[in-house]
Amino acid sequence: LKAASNIDSQEGNGRFKQILHRLLSDLFKAIDDLDITPDEVWAGINYLNKLGRDGEAALLAAGLGLEKYLDVRMDAEDKQLGLEGGTPRTIEGPLYVAGAPVKEGVSKMDLDPDENAGPLVIHGTVLDLDGKPVEGAVVECWHANSKGFYSHFDPTGEQTDFNLRGAVRTGADGKYEFRTLMPVGYGCPPEGATQTLLDELGRHGNRPAHVHFFVTSDSHRKLTTQFNIEGDPLIWDDFAYATREDLIPPVTQKTGGKELGLKADSYQDIEFDFVLTPLVEGKDNQIVQRLRAAA
């Protein structure tokens, strides 16, 4: 283990060697303790190749609760810092695409027609911990269509760039609004490596209908969150464990959609405020580096 991780040398990256030494040690120990056979080890190696070919490592991280675990740790860190009262974080997931055009106050996100999705307006105010509106915040929003597919990752190839992806900058009133269509829950690709693993566990690979957000502001920490669509039967059975009590806003039925440029007069409405937390010693400690798609 020491030789493989070159742990006693000055060469290489010390932090990387420390982590690799520990993970390899834990793996060898598991092989001993559970008497993991060569066939089982090679099945695991082959699985990793398939996982990479499918581009699903980040999807599996969500499904195994690894991404949620990082949230649990960040929640604990915030609690220690006394940083409570903001909108709860929840996982980013693997399907964000950078570069959606930033609009002032309001963004119409549905670029492609979707017969099976009704109009949805999502709106609210970005606030600080004192309840004051935050001006100049950018709210980014992304979600699936009526088939549970996200643009850029849609296996049917039917969606254009940035369909159901939007970004809005708030004015002095802190308000944001997205005019869009009601999403449907996501399911893992049935032939993909993630679903193969979940099948072996006897688990499903589905998420309830949900909408993702990043909220950024120069004067506050970045918020990564989602809300679920009230009433979805999978709300408390999300394969990625992202559901939280405070992230299930009520959905109300409204009329007047035609004046808003919606495809029907009757539409569904979700009001959801974002409460941002202050910088920590002048810094945003919520910026997570990970590979993200861009278009």
Verify binding: residue 59, ligand MBD, rule CB under 6 A. yes
* HSE-up (13 A, CA, CB side) for residue 240: 26
Verify binding: residue 91, ligand MBD, rule CB under 6 A. yes
CB-based closest residue to ligand MBD: 93
Q: How far apart are alpha carbons 75 and 98 in whole angstroms?
A: 25
Residues making up the chain, counted from first to last: 295
CB of 121 to ligand MBD, least distance (A): 21
Which region, judged by CB under 6 A, interacts with ligand MBD, from 71-79, 92-100, 105-113, 119-127? 92-100
- Contact set for Fe ion, span 46-105 (CB under 5 A): 93
CB of 240 to ligand MBD, least distance (A): 4
240 binds, among Fe ion, ligand MBD, none (CB under 5 to 8 A by kind): ligand MBD
Cα separations in angstroms, 170 against 72, 176, 217, 279: 29, 6, 10, 19
Q: Could you tell me which of 159, 128, 126, 122 has the C-alpha nearest to residue 144?
A: 159
Q: Are 243 and 236 in contact (CB under 8 A)?
A: yes
Cα separations in angstroms, 133 against 83, 130, 169: 18, 9, 12
Verify binding: residue 229, ligand MBD, rule CB under 6 A. no
Verify binding: residue 147, ligand MBD, rule CB under 6 A. no
Please say which residue, 59 or 164, places its beta carbon nearer to ligand MBD.
59
**Neighbour tally for 146: CB within 10 Å:** 15
**Given candidates 51, 60, 64, 95, which one binds ligand MBD under the rule CB under 6 A?**
95
> Where along the sequence are the contacts to ligand MBD (CB under 6 A)?
59, 62, 91, 93-95, 186, 207, 240, 242
